[in-house]
Structure 1
Amino acid sequence: MAIKKTLDRIPGGMMLVPLFIGAIVHTFWPDSGKYFGSFTNGLMTGTVPILAVWFFCMGAGIDIRATGTVLRKSGTLVLTKIAVAWIVAIIAGQFLPEGGIQTGFFAGLSVLALIAAMDMTNGGLYASIMQQYGTKEEAGAFVLMSLESGPLVTMLILGTTGLAAFEPHHFVGAVLPFMIGFILGNLDHDLREFFGKATHTLIPFFGFALGNSIDLGVILQTGLLGILLGIAVIIVTGIPLILADKWIGGGNGTAGLAASSTAGAAVANPMIIANMKPEFMSAAQSATALVAACVIVTSILVPILTAYWADWMKKRRGSVPVQGVGPGQERTV
């Protein structure tokens, strides 16, 4: 059975399929983890420890040695994405209640959902798109996108906008596994290779554990809103990213559009934040469902839109006659 190949055909499938399986289990058999206990219960409810190991391995897999072009490109995209999410948080914080909207079509929409959907780029999706439509240096820009992984950026945005207050040690705790992995991976190439391999392996495990905290009824309630939010993520973050890529990154905007997705790991952030700040717990479940929808929507639309954009930019450059080239022969410039 070609199970993995099937999962690979689904946008974000290695993360989202286990997540929905876990959600089905939690919806229809919410106490199954407690019933089985032991390791099974740990696997079903161990989102935080599994993510801690994943962050460590993610840090270990990043090589500090990168070219200036890669750092400029990735730094531009990462900072722009974070800046846009920060501005959205400031604006949304003026209109949305702390626990999110509770009734009507926009029920479940919260500042937490907006930030989590917009502040992290799907690095793997970006790299695969740019390997086809960009340069090697542009594809390598995903190296700094790994720094967005985890709740740290979301915490920083919530803290600097005054929407939440976190103790300094909470920030340290959020980034410490990542930094320890990063240090070890760069001190020893063999350790980077060893731990880096586990990054993809752990994805379905924390997806399943995260799913076991989601009621499918919530996802059904936020279905259309989740689709619209996913489209909004592409528009709201995509336009600034395209402009930043052209004006600062030295590209033609293709890399910016390719970075306008929502990372699969972002699905975990609302619940992690809620565990640290219980006042967000009422919004966390709906936010998780909305972010999961954004991952699916952006994973489908961003590659399609980027392909059209890259083709349009190629045609826009055009082909012009060059002196010394015979009639009917042109050189693309």
Structure 2
Amino acid sequence: MKINIFEKMNKVPGGLIIIPLLAAILINSFAPEALNIGGPTTALFKSGSSAMMGIFLLICGASINIRQAGLPLYKGAVLLILKCLAGAIAVWGAGALFGPAGFLGISMLALVACLTSSNSSLYIALCSNYGDASDAGAISVFCIKDGPFVTMMVLGVSGLANIPFAALLSMLIPLLIGMLWGNLDEKFKQLCAAAQPLIIIIMSFAIGANSSITTVFTAGLSGILLGLISAVTGILFYFLYNFFLKKKTALGAALGTTAASSALTPAMVAQADPSLAVFVDAATAQLATASIITMITAPVMVAWFDKRLKRHAPVSETAAAAAKGEENIALSSQVTKGNK
């Protein structure tokens, strides 16, 4: 009898990350010795998050298309820069006021990991209804923000975290190798795309195996607040993104999401700066909660902005058509005079 566990996990928003994460938290809370028997079991399911992150970055790199040019490249670059700026502004604003501990139980580690990430899968899904091929192609550049690299860079440059250059380089090398290999070998790119869900599941479990159920409950309300903060930024991203585009789109609001994979970021950042380890458990739970909140809010927000754009579109199109008609009349008049 086939149960189709993977298919059922996929039906849950962020299920490939949240379900293994919660399962590992429960095991570590009630039967911690089960994962401490040593050998491959402990190495894979308890302490294997670093190795899995390396493979995850390799896979992310393979999805980057360096041959992508023109409008998709431009859009992807703008989206990436906006997310980096959001994290930087959060650090230099809230970080200067509250320090690494943050506010209302939300550490700067959680806030920056939240604002520098976004749900790539949801963005692609929304592109099918509210965008075009150039919007979908932008993800080949935009996906650089997947993983902890951008979060580490923002925290390190701001001075809120002591991130050694070697730690940043260690995150960049697998990404570059994957990007080079994936662009040279289409089969490798396909292999990475197929392997990504498995890597995410194991990495999520390994991170959850180092947390407890107490943290999940205590981080609940702050996680909801973090999700709402992320959702509200979607309004700002909508206007900022359209500022750089000739043809307006509602997809800027899709940046107001938190990636489910961002829940894996705090543990990776804390390995580079152990002083942040105290915030890891709460940040992990908060980011997982925020990802669920924004999966609900983002589609509603994008749909609303799309309707708003369409309400204004007929007026502008009519005006443009009228102007074009006047130009045609003027041109025909000039031609007539010239013939005379």
**If the length of structure 1 is used for normalisation, what is the TM-score?**
0.89
Distance 1:139 1:152 in 2: 22
Q: Deviations over 1:121-150 (max 9, x none)?
A: 111111111112211211222111221122
Q: What does the per-residue CA deviation read over 1:160-197, in whole Å, with 9 as the maximum and x for residues that have no partner? A: 11212322222111111111111111122232223332
Equivalent residue number for residue 52 of structure 2 = 50
1:221 aligns to 2:199 (yes or no): no
| Partner Cα separation in structure 1 for residue 228 and residue 151 of structure 2 | 20
1:259 aligned onto 2:217:
no
State the alpha-carbon separation in 1 of the partners of residues 10 and 72 from structure 2.
Answer: 27
Alignment partners' CA distance in 1, 2:178 and 2:211: 30
CA–CA distance in structure 2, aligned partners of residues 165 and 43 of structure 1:
28
Structure 1 residue 300, shift from structure 2 partner = 1.8
Residue of structure 2 equivalent to 1:159: 156
Please point out which of 191, 196, 217 is paired with 1:194. 191
Aligned length: 316
Counterpart pick for 1:116 among 86, 102, 113? 113
Matched ranges for 1:1-333 at <5 A: 1-35=3-37, 37-45=38-46, 46-100=48-102, 106-107=104-105, 109-236=106-233, 238-318=234-314
**1:32 Cα deviation from its structure 2 partner:** 1.8
Contact 1:99/1:280 (CA < 8 Å) preserved in 2?
no
* CA distance, structure 1, for counterparts of residue 94 and residue 32 of structure 2: 33
Write the distance in 1 (CA, Å) between the matches of 2:196 and 2:7.
18
Q: Secondary structure at the match of 2:36?
A: helix
Deviates more, 1:131-140 or 1:1-10: 1-10
- What residue identity is the alignment partner of 2:141? L
Matches of 1:279 and 1:4, distance apart in 2 = 37
Q: What percentage of aligned pairs have identical amino acids?
A: 28
Query: What is the TM-score of this pair, normalised by structure 2?
Result: 0.87
Q: Distance between the aligned counterparts of 1:8 and 1:134, measured in 2?
A: 24
SS in 2 for 1:112: helix
Q: Comparing 52-61 with 77-86, which one deviates more in the overlay?
A: 52-61
Which amino acid is the alignment partner of residue 245 of structure 2? G
TM-align CA RMSD: 1.9
Alignment partners' CA distance in 2, 1:240 and 1:15: 28
**Computing the radius of gyration over CA atoms, which structure comes out larger, 1 or 2?**
2
Question: Which moved further from structure 2: 244-253 or 59-68?
Answer: 244-253
Contact 2:60 2:143 in 1 (8 A): yes
Letter matched to residue 223 of structure 2: G
Supply the AA of the counterpart residue of 2:77: G
Judged with a 3 Å threshold, the aligned counterparts in structure 2 of structure 1 residues 194 and 9 are, in CA distance, closer, same or farther, namely closer
**Does the 8 A contact of 1:58 with 1:181 survive in 2?**
yes
Counterparts of 2:245 and 2:8, CA distance in 1: 36
Are 1:56 and 1:179, in contact at CA under 8 Å, matched by a contact in 2?
yes
**What is the Cα deviation at residue 298 of structure 1?**
0.9
